[in-house]
Amino acid sequence: MKHIYLTLIVVCTSIFTSSVCAQHPTTWTTYFENDTIQIDYKESKCPADNFEAGNIFFKITNKIDVSVKISFDQVIWYNDTCYNCEKYYPNYFRELELLPFETFESDCQLKGNFNIQSTFYGDWKKILGYKPEQLTKFELQNIKTISYE
């Protein structure tokens, strides 16, 4: 009987961990893939002055032997409210050109400004009485690719 309870606890913990981590994975997870490109994402922290900021990073891979131009819109939800659903903000439009079989990977240097800020970490939010906004969802919409020689 004790073995059954222990197994049940392990299974429940695994299910809970999977559902929580699925929202903001810390290892590369495929978001979109077709014959031409693959878009992966993960969350990681970036140090900045007196705080750390959580970010969603993107890795975009050209899977073919010709250059590709990729574009999409980032749509984001903070605290379950869509920030840019009702109005178009050009600063959430992303465009990238990749050589044959090239991979682009965003990082803490905001290379190409592809990152999405997911949360802030640090004591300054407590001092200011600030309730941080947490990224609760994001979508990449209107994903387009154009191949060229």
| Residue among 60, 43, 30, 39 nearest 108 (CA) | 43
Which pLDDT tens digit goes with each residue over 95-130? 999 999 999 999 887 655 778 888 765 555 555 666
- Coil, strand or helix: which one is 23? coil
User: What mean pLDDT do residues 28-41 have?
Assistant: 97
Which pLDDT tens digit goes with each residue over 40-91? 999 988 876 566 678 899 999 999 999 999 999 999 998 899 989 988 888 8
Question: Residue 8 carries which side chain, given as an amino acid letter?
Answer: L
- Give the length of the chain: 149
**E-assigned strands of 63-123?**
67-78, 81-82, 93-98, 103-105, 116-121
CA distance linking residue 12 with residue 28, whole number of Å: 24
